[in-house]
Structure 1
């Protein structure tokens, strides 16, 4: 694992700082797999691995989502393609899908099948729907077609309908894959290999499964770093950012977190403005608290930070466990520490308690409660206080969050906030690129850029690149971002590449005539040229209305320029005594 993480970093692929309980491992930290010091943040190794844990621990890794496949290809080349595969998943037929598929097979009218399917509540089985929906029950008993349809669908409900590839799971084997599992090509590719066993059988076989996750926010970080280097000649090492940067915390305190990982919802913005975070631990806590259940404790956390309420502890042993979170339980690791220090549990037994509470199985809960009360009494804690502590623990453990995971995601949140605070134009350009196919998000982000004093302008053949980019000459006083040329409808990537390559080689285009002489590409046709003009990309080359009125003239001139260039006449035209033909447009 250290090998392919280091390979990714060496190849400028941004790797997440740590995900899940693996961040509690100091070996993972020292070997560079994670980037979080578990001692500094009081993360428990036993949350990752302990003697009571029966399942294999795993280390989940986040990579920039546009380059995740590169890491998988490297692993294949390192260990052999016959030893590495992604894992299959099976999609089963839900109630509504079963109705539509059976109806199609029976030749029933689409409208009828659709009507029946919509009577079934989402996430309900056919049996549940027939019992709960009177209209469906009546239809089933009175309509022969409905009876046939529903009877057929009941037989197929839950049957495997299709296969796909697990979003992140990869298996690596010592012997060739066929020694352990049948394999096949994935449903979406004739080159990618997947196992024919799904994840659970693979784990029961004891095979090494790793999760290679693609995270969009890491791609945003990667692209921001590239833009910073291109526009300022600065090289930023994302893993070495100071975690006490005042400008970053001012941005968080103002709630200017559009585009910031985990922190951009309206509710989170409101709480950040109230909290006014001043240290990294505040971000860790907010990532853990802002979710159903613990969210109700956010006002207590904020009041504790600002000394607006008195923090008290039922027992002195609880102060070192809870003082950083102002007397409230925020993390699963705090529960594990509490039952260890108060009731004498081992860290592994604390992990089992969390799992038992999360499962909500009564006999398991009763067993854990009895063990906890007995442990408290053995440590001279009264039954009354032990009962109060259990009332404190039980509801929390159902929704409590893993601090190791929260710390990893808080670090990504901080990194994105740092980049936005110090390099807002580059960050916003990368954010816009990541959401280029979502017009609603683009509108929000253009407004956010404007609030930061950054102009987001239409594409321009002299300033735009393929995606959103920062115009270097506009920095630092009047930063502007240009829409990418690839965002223009009917303008393909090949033509975009030709325009950018020519501009880089011979400088900006002086006017429309210069542009048409220099761009020789078969994709420059009526549709693409019209789209370039209408998007505003040629606004500095000539009046758009005039250019649109002379499309055929422009295209003829471009074709003639290509012919002249091919026949070698361009050099003749450029002699001292002759000039190239001029472009004459109708007004």
Structure 2
């Protein structure tokens, strides 16, 4: 052992002039470790306390016969890294660089010094320097790598592990066989049954040969456990979907032959490596599967795996900029110039972005920012528990890897996934996927309300309503197809088959989007570009993607068909193309071209095809993974299109705690005419539910400050009473420890007790008057309930024995009527604010709703529509040199200012970043100094404004760069110059006369014009007529409403 740095007991004693304490500590460690095993540690980083310690250590060493050793704390690699390390400390502690009280190192000597530098620092202690070598020679450890340390899987005594593996595989295939025969009889199965049997035998032999039978049995076992207990399991993930063995064992649910998936992409007999099967489980019940594995193999043998978060290019720029206290706008500008690619680094960004290079060269602050950020980029920022990784060992994991305790007492390896795999331990990914929970909840809700037992695995794959969902981009809540950029592509591509969905799922990534592959795919599919194949032999391979190489499996098949590769060799080629090593690629190219020549193909043509393969291989995606996830997407879309109410209830339940998504999904429900029913203590369940013939009922668990314990108590009382009839009667039976005053306040503000109005005889009382009266009754109701429960416990409740339960309830209602006090009504704004507070969104309306006509007239969009804007950067939309450009020159949106954050530029000018909320969600708005100066009084939380500006979207978010901010109430007066009315021919004389009467009632100084559409013309014709000389009006909501009543909703525009 070593005595440590200044914080060690020996050094601390000496630095505090407590020599006796230092000697006693050193002696204690000597007695424990032995005099030849405990070294007194001398360090020199230029710190004064170390000088004091180093003077005292030789004497202790002499008196106690202990050796000295020279060391140096290494916190960074090079001396010039001192400043970046200082910034890193600030990032880790959340402090600014200028903060005088922050954690800092007092010297710049904490780097890895050379032998000469150490010798110079400790020239008076040569023996202590030599001891560093002696210690190193005594430290010997060998970490075994490469051996597969699979846990022991018990098999019945009559079987070997290989025999049992084949037994369960073939049994599983027999269970699949009736369905395959059914499809064959219908003419749908693409391959004969005997081909399945040949493929199965081949895979079984390969797996046994590679000694992975035990691995498959382990996976089969815990998936079987999950399925037997009704825990939803995903259809597959990754390349494992290419295995017929996995399909037979129900590890996956995708038929690999039906979709031409390749076993060797998953398990290559010519490049032996551990299989990697990742499993998706229902997010809510994933823990049950992990607990089963832990029990089966022993708690000491199972652990979760550490993961390290690293500093990525954009994030590290923002972190360093914040620490250096650079203006937000300047840092934001730099960050936006970094292209949004998954493997993007700052060095690459500077190569690709001319504007970024110019900023670095012209601005000293930006130069420092990038210099520090480049040094910190890629470094570990934090450690946490991997979301899915679990390691299972044959013996206690302490015999293989170091462990630590996570934040929630989880047992976690200190080695990450790669190290765990290197030492041969079995690593499994147990992923929690909310989509599986969504599907399961939806199917159960269908069964509850209709009695139908839907088998999601047997739904038709050619349902027109399902494809309509995709073609129209109505994919909110649809797994993998929900983003704005993907919805835009779906509308262009108009998928018609599951194969189209598989291809789009594979292509919707930064590389293919930037390269133009997606546009090419859409053009070919739509018949705008002729599909041509370099060779006829390529057509069967590329037909499903309209001649575009989209999948890694296509590259492998081309290598086999043209180059004569085995599929194992083709997988090696596929992997080599991904790594792009010149010497490896040169050898592979020669092999491919030579093989093609032997197969009778033109050498020049073969070389050209190899070049195409190499180019597209960088963008290719595993078809197996894309197929499994496209299936999951299709299943969710099928439920959405055919069981829209049940799907909505399940989706809203899943997202109940995500206010932004909840608002977005509720907005879509309204747009799709799905009736939404408010929370109701007499109707609502814990979760969102379907009320047949009525709509989707809001779940009580989505109300803030109302925990599940309180809800269960409420539901139990409702079950007992049949119907909750009064606040006072409710409190008599509730567990008032769980349902306290705060819970009641939240329920009332959310409108969940509105149904009590009937029983209080207040049916016609508006909710703005009812809810405050209910609030004032809480104290007395809780007091009555508590007194009743107390009396009951004391036995005095026998006084009620002569009364029937119903009679007592009636008396309680009368008491409630008598004691429900009067209270001042709320305003509509109050009610909406309370709904926002308790539900996270406005329910009975939105403060902006009363300005809907004006906003519509000015062409304002909703935040939901902004989400549909094409994404920038990572999604391959509008890009210019160095980064994303605005999607469109100008957009308008009305809403309420929320989450406002005032900032200052480097010049000290004020600006702000805030969220603008409407009924559909929120969007970030940036008001730079010029705009802020004109509108500062409006940029306050709760103000209703109309924002105009440029819409930007990157891979992270959508935002508006505001050019104008106007109070909604003054929108008409400030902005309207003309009232434009759109009419369609025929528009009779009565229409114009009615409009004339409206104009007469609203005389003013703004122009009026008509746009008259003539749909019957040979070509679409629109005639404009300016009536400014005859008519001028004053724009108002009344004017707009009266005109729209005559000419139709949306016929008025303010300009």
TM-score range relative to shorter protein: 0.7 to 0.9
Q: 2:235–2:631: 8 Å Cα contact kept in structure 1?
A: yes
Mapped partners of 1:368, 1:208: distance in 2: 32
Deviations 1:158-211 (A, max 9, x none): 77664321222211111221222222222x122x21122222221111111111
CA offset at residue 300 of structure 1? Answer: 4.4
Mapped partners of 2:317, 2:498: distance in 1: 52
Q: 2:439 aligns with which of 204, 221, 240?
A: 221
CA 1:306–1:499: 2 relative to 1, 3 Å: same
Mapped partners of 1:167, 1:22: distance in 2: 20
Is 1:165 paired with 2:400?
no
Is 1:286 paired with 2:504?
yes
Q: 2:731–2:785: 8 Å Cα contact kept in structure 1?
A: yes
The 5-angstrom pairing of residues 213-252 of structure 1 reads 213-252=431-470
Is 1:424 paired with 2:659?
no
Match of residue 557 from structure 1: 781
Q: Secondary structure at the match of 1:567?
A: helix
Match of residue 578 from structure 2: 358
Q: 2:247–2:255: 8 Å Cα contact kept in structure 1?
A: yes
CA 1:5–1:571: 2 relative to 1, 3 Å: same
CA offset at residue 358 of structure 1? Answer: 1.6
Match of residue 420 from structure 2: 202
CA 1:548–1:526: 2 relative to 1, 3 Å: farther
Mapped partners of 2:378, 2:519: distance in 1: 44
Match of residue 655 from structure 2: 435
- Range with bigger deviation, 223-232 or 76-85: 223-232
CA 1:135–1:197: 2 relative to 1, 3 Å: same
Q: Secondary structure at the match of 1:268?
A: helix
The 5-angstrom pairing of residues 500-515 of structure 1 reads 500-515=715-730
Match of residue 586 from structure 1: 821
Match of residue 51 from structure 1: 269
Q: Secondary structure at the match of 2:562?
A: helix
CA 1:403–1:162: 2 relative to 1, 3 Å: closer
CA 1:342–1:112: 2 relative to 1, 3 Å: closer
Q: 1:520–1:558: 8 Å Cα contact kept in structure 2?
A: no
Q: 1:520–1:562: 8 Å Cα contact kept in structure 2?
A: no
Q: Secondary structure at the match of 1:165?
A: strand
CA offset at residue 427 of structure 1? Answer: 1.0
Match of residue 324 from structure 1: 544
CA 1:440–1:22: 2 relative to 1, 3 Å: same
Q: 1:89–1:166: 8 Å Cα contact kept in structure 2?
A: yes
Q: Secondary structure at the match of 1:465?
A: coil
The structure with the greater share of residues assigned to helix is 1
Mapped partners of 1:96, 1:313: distance in 2: 41
CA 1:449–1:314: 2 relative to 1, 3 Å: same
Q: 2:687 aligns with which of 460, 467, 482?
A: 467
The 5-angstrom pairing of residues 329-408 of structure 1 reads 329-408=549-628
Is 1:492 paired with 2:707?
yes
Deviations 1:130-158 (A, max 9, x none): 998468867999xxxx9xxx99x999987
Deviations 1:217-265 (A, max 9, x none): 1121122122223222333233333323333233333332211111223
CA offset at residue 328 of structure 1? Answer: 2.3
Mapped partners of 2:612, 2:366: distance in 1: 50
Match of residue 106 from structure 1: none
Match of residue 698 from structure 2: 483
Q: 1:119–1:136: 8 Å Cα contact kept in structure 2?
A: no
Match of residue 802 from structure 2: 575
Q: 1:527 aligns with which of 721, 726, 742?
A: 742
CA 1:286–1:571: 2 relative to 1, 3 Å: farther
CA offset at residue 371 of structure 1? Answer: 2.4
Q: 1:119–1:133: 8 Å Cα contact kept in structure 2?
A: no
CA 1:90–1:334: 2 relative to 1, 3 Å: closer
Mapped partners of 1:445, 1:154: distance in 2: 40
Q: Secondary structure at the match of 1:217?
A: helix
The 5-angstrom pairing of residues 252-263 of structure 1 reads 252-263=470-481
Mapped partners of 2:237, 2:425: distance in 1: 21
CA 1:82–1:524: 2 relative to 1, 3 Å: closer
CA 1:138–1:291: 2 relative to 1, 3 Å: closer
CA offset at residue 2 of structure 1? Answer: 0.5
Mapped partners of 1:323, 1:154: distance in 2: 45
Match of residue 541 from structure 1: 756
- Structure of greater relative contact order (alpha carbons < 8 Å, 6+ residues apart): 1
CA offset at residue 213 of structure 1? Answer: 1.3
Q: Secondary structure at the match of 2:772?
A: helix
Mapped partners of 1:179, 1:168: distance in 2: 22
Is 1:88 paired with 2:306?
yes
Runs of 5+ consecutive residues of structure 1 not aligned to the other structure? 104-109
Runs of 5+ consecutive residues of structure 2 not aligned to the other structure? 1-218, 336-344, 351-355, 758-764, 823-1055
CA 1:519–1:19: 2 relative to 1, 3 Å: same
The structure with the greater share of residues assigned to strand is 2
CA 1:555–1:524: 2 relative to 1, 3 Å: farther
TM-score (norm: length of structure 2): 0.49
Match of residue 15 from structure 1: 233
Q: Secondary structure at the match of 1:171?
A: strand
Q: 1:354–1:398: 8 Å Cα contact kept in structure 2?
A: no
- Range with bigger deviation, 2-11 or 434-443: 434-443
Q: Secondary structure at the match of 2:717?
A: helix
Mapped partners of 2:263, 2:672: distance in 1: 42
Deviations 1:85-131 (A, max 9, x none): 11123456789999999x9xxxxxx9874449987966659xx9999
Mapped partners of 1:520, 1:100: distance in 2: 49
Mapped partners of 1:56, 1:548: distance in 2: 65
The 5-angstrom pairing of residues 99-110 of structure 1 reads none
CA offset at residue 565 of structure 1? Answer: 4.2
Mapped partners of 1:286, 1:160: distance in 2: 34
CA offset at residue 43 of structure 1? Answer: 0.3
Aligned length: 563
Query: Between Structure 1 and Structure 2, whose CA radius of gyration is higher?
Result: 2
Mapped partners of 2:643, 2:684: distance in 1: 19
CA offset at residue 393 of structure 1? Answer: 1.3
Mapped partners of 2:479, 2:645: distance in 1: 17
Deviations 1:422-480 (A, max 9, x none): 21112112212222233222222112212332122331111222232223xxx2x44x2
Q: 1:516–1:554: 8 Å Cα contact kept in structure 2?
A: no
- Range with bigger deviation, 576-585 or 423-432: 576-585
Mapped partners of 2:426, 2:225: distance in 1: 20
Mapped partners of 1:76, 1:400: distance in 2: 37
- Range with bigger deviation, 491-500 or 339-348: 491-500
Mapped partners of 1:111, 1:431: distance in 2: 37
CA offset at residue 58 of structure 1? Answer: 0.5
CA offset at residue 17 of structure 1? Answer: 0.6
Mapped partners of 2:534, 2:322: distance in 1: 64
Mapped partners of 2:647, 2:658: distance in 1: 17
- Range with bigger deviation, 302-311 or 430-439: 302-311
Mapped partners of 1:415, 1:550: distance in 2: 45
Q: Secondary structure at the match of 1:35?
A: coil
Q: 2:727–2:781: 8 Å Cα contact kept in structure 1?
A: no
